[in-house]
Amino acid sequence: MNLFTLDNLFLLLTGLLAAYLCWYFWQRYTLHKALHNIYYQYFTKAENKVEVE
């Protein structure tokens, strides 16, 4: 059984790409958490609240 077939190569490359993208987006998320918190920043301020009748 040959471990270096074309299918195994593509499987390895896609797995490495997925791991890299998870790491990349986690790093960007931890650096810029305020950008991912737009709902909380906008809708919890008193001046942005809408009175419901």
pLDDT, tens only, 10-47: 999 999 999 999 999 888 878 766 665 666 656 666 55
- At 27 the pLDDT is 86
- At 51 the pLDDT is 59
* Cβ atoms of residues 34 and 41 within 8 Å: yes
The first and second tokens of residue 21, run together, are 């993208």
Q: How confident is the model at residue 4 (pLDDT cuts 50, 70, 90)?
A: confident
* Cβ atoms of residues 48 and 42 within 8 Å: yes
Q: Which residue is listed with tokens 């301020």?
A: 45
Residues in contact with 10: Cβ distance below 8 Å, sequence separation at least 6, in sequence order: none
Model confidence, pTM: 0.56
